[in-house]
Amino acid sequence: MTLFWVGALALTMLLYVVLDGFDLGIGMILGLTRSEDDRRRMLATIAPVWDGNETWLVLAVVIIFGAFSKVYAALLSAFYLPIVMMLGALILRGVAFEFRNKTSRLRWVWDYAFTGGSIVATFMQGVMVGQLAQGLPLADGVYMGGPLLWLNPFSLLCGLGLCFGYALLGLAWLIAKCEGVLRARAYWLLPLVLAAVLGFLAIVFVYALATHVPIMNRWLERPWLAVFPLIGACAVISLLLHLRDLMFHRRLQTPDRLPFIMVVLLFLSAFATLAASFWPFMVPFSLTIAQAASPHASQAFMFWGAGLIFLPLTLFYAVFSYRVFGGKIVDEPEHVHS
């Protein structure tokens, strides 16, 4: 039962990162254009799915709370401020998304609120992942650090890097969903943001080696972890070859779908690297899966609701939604409803 919930947690977190990642990325990119038509089209690409994407975060929190309650207590104690800021930013995004369609004079305010909320939510997620890679000080499952432990150069660097990563996902999504000038602009920005992502990955790797970040010890213990970055490197090479063919006007078999698939593969390789590096810890490097697991009765009780019904139902709804709203967007009336 414990392994089932570990797998369910990994699945929900992965789906949240990929799916909410691209609409957070579009939120950040939204601030780079002043054209209302372009902004309307950008929002139209995520309007049918963006709120459903955040459902995976809710499911992940439910799993942590019910199946790994010690992890919930430790993470909330360590990341209280980042979590509150992230949730506040996600709420601001939802309000801004709806309110921008109800006004003309103050629409720019809600556009910048949507962009700002996207940046803050993404940055805080990256900060928390960066601190987890460094480990949390726990004693008998109780957090022993201060409220600002996460406020350090490595974590802040990870937060900034995730902003570029989500922006890359957003650009790839725009390429897959849009036509015309907006698609061309996304293609123009894609290599620039990709270079920024690769640069930050290199900087983070060097910084981790120089400062002896604990997660680097796992690489020495498990050389096979290099398989996952190699998969990410293959995805980057495929994306670069695609961009080269586009630049020289060669015939492309999948001109608009490939970038998003390759960027998702890059994220999958990064996620798998972290997951394999953390194993068997739920809170690196203080609380193992066995230590963090709730009693079997609690996990079994959750299984009949969250595990057997809501998780498959949510997954079916997500697949169905993306199938129904697949393909390129077409011009819609000015007001876009979610």
Which residues does residue 283 pair with via DSSP β-bridges, in sequence order?
287
Q: What confidence score (pLDDT) does residue 249 get?
A: 63
Q: What confidence score (pLDDT) does residue 250 get?
A: 56
Q: What is the pLDDT of residues 128-187, one digit of tens each?
A: 998 988 888 888 778 888 888 898 898 999 999 999 999 999 999 999 888 888 888 888
Q: What is the pLDDT of residues 195-226, one digit of tens each?
A: 999 999 888 888 888 877 777 777 777 788 88
Asked if residue 6 belongs to a domain, the reply is yes
Q: What confidence score (pLDDT) does residue 2 get?
A: 84
Cα–Cα distance for residue pair 134/6, rounded to 1 Å: 21
Q: What is the CATH number of the domain that holds 291?
A: 1.20.1630
Rg (CA), the chain: 20
Asked if residue 72 belongs to a domain, the reply is yes
Asked if residue 44 belongs to a domain, the reply is yes
Asked if residue 314 belongs to a domain, the reply is no
Asked if residue 322 belongs to a domain, the reply is no
CB 13 within 8 A of CB 5: no
Helix, coil or strand: residue 63: helix
Structural tokens at position 271: 């996620």
Structural tokens at position 197: 């992502």
Residue type, 231: I
Cα–Cα distance for residue pair 20/14, rounded to 1 Å: 10
Asked if residue 99 belongs to a domain, the reply is yes
Helix axes 180-211, 227-247, angle to 10 degrees: 150
Measured in whole angstroms, the distance separating CA 216 from the mean position of its chain's CA atoms is: 22
Q: What confidence score (pLDDT) does residue 292 get?
A: 85
Total number of domains in the chain: 1
Q: Which residues in the chain come in under a pLDDT of 50? A: 332-338
**Which class for 210: exposed (0-12), middle (13-18), buried (19 or more C-beta within 10 A)?**
exposed
Asked if residue 333 belongs to a domain, the reply is no
**Containing structural domain, residue 66:** 2-298
